[in-house]
Structure formats: structure tokens, C-alpha cells
A = this chain, B = another copy of it.
């Protein structure tokens, strides 16, 4: 539970200003401001249905920002979504995996689409790292919930994004998986990556240096680490 010092880094990775989102007429987010510096981890808390996943979808460019400003690594995302996408990685509630492909083929497709140069050996190594070595030739549709989650998170070791977006990354993982994920995220932050995640699990987030935020009634507020356990 290391509190993160308020940073005033001159070049933040994410600058979101006055963002909002509506589903039809239902205004889910309004006037959202969020700044995240390199090496910083922002954790979004909030009740079910408060809009955390929606905010992450906006940040991931999955939803188009209709109003407000969104700079990612200095790029105006509304102008150049394409450039922005190359700099971020989003792993959401869904695993984005193809059931009829094996873990290896899934990762091959992922790296080739993003033109990340890798060899099969490296991919196998990554699959080993997330503890799926025994299932390396098994189509993903037969994986257990936690195994899918592990494979989805394995992408983190292949892409080297500036911004990482995670939606409830700890769900379905066992203790070992949580430990491994936290180690990976610590390295990622240490290397200057930025991380924004939604979670209901302050106990598990505690292992990372982070700054907590709360989403309520469509608005985002910074909170103190002490308030975390009530916020989620």
C-alpha cells in the first residue's frame, strides 16, 4: 500500500479532459478529468454499474470520445485514433481470444497484427511464464476461466505499450496467478509504463504503488488510500 507521490511530470501519458459518454439518453460519464504520468498506476473504484468499464472503453478508443479532449502520449486521440491504438493495450472483461486456435496461434495472430517481431520460441516462453505450458497445444475454448485470463494477460509480456488498461484483472486468477500478475505489473510500472485499471479488490491492488480514484454518479474523484476499501 505504497502511496504514490503526487506527480507533476511534465509529459503525462494520458490527459483526459471533460470526457463524457452516453448510452442513448443515459449519461454514464460526465466531466471526467484524468491525468496519468509514466510509471503511474491509477485504480478506478466504484459501485457496479458506475461506469468503470465504460471509461476504460473510452480510453481504449473502443468508444469514440464525442466531447472533451484526450491526449495519449501527446497524440490527440480524436484526430489520430490509429496512432493511439499502437501505443496502448486493453485487456477487458472479455479475453479477446479465438476459441478454435491454440494459445500459440492466438499469440501469433496477436503479434502479427501488431507487427511485433517474435519467434515461436519466445511465444512458447511467454506461455510457460503464465503457467500454461501443459496446455500449449489445446484449443483455447477448453480452457478454464483462470487459464483464459492468464493467456489474455500474457499479451502484456509481448506488446510494450505506453498505456495499459485492465478491467478487473484479478478476477478468476488463483493466488499464484495474482502474485505473478503483480510482479509483472510492478516491472511494467518500473519501466515507465502507465497503467489504469478497474477493480473491486483493494487487497490485491495493495501490492502495487498506485493512486486510487472513485467513480460515482458519473464523476471521477481522487480519493485517499484510506478510503479505498469503502469506495469499491
- Docked-complex contact A49 and B171, CB < 8 angstroms: no
**New contact pairs (12) apart from A49-B146, A146-B200, A171-B171, CB-CB < 8 Å:** A23-B142, A47-B146, A48-B144, A48-B147, A48-B149, A49-B135, A49-B143, A53-B145, A93-B145, A174-B200, A174-B232, A203-B203
Q: What residues on B are CB-neighbors of A135 within 8 Å?
A: 49
Closest to A51 in B: B144
Closest to A231 in B: B175
Give complex CA distance A150, B47 in Å: 12
Q: What residues on B are CB-neighbors of A48 within 8 Å?
A: 131, 144-147, 149-150, 172-174, 177
- Docked-complex contact A232 and B93, CB < 8 angstroms: no
Give complex CA distance A144, B198 in Å: 13
Q: What residues on B are CB-neighbors of A203 within 8 Å?
A: 203
User: Is A176's CB within 8 Å of the partner chain B?
Assistant: yes
Q: What residues on B are CB-neighbors of A105 within 8 Å?
A: none
Q: What residues on B are CB-neighbors of A229 within 8 Å?
A: 175
Please tell me how many copies of the chain the complex holds. 2
Give complex CA distance A119, B29 in Å: 36
- Docked-complex contact B172 and A171, CB < 8 angstroms: yes
Q: What residues on B are CB-neighbors of A172 within 8 Å?
A: 48, 168, 171, 200
- Docked-complex contact A53 and B142, CB < 8 angstroms: no
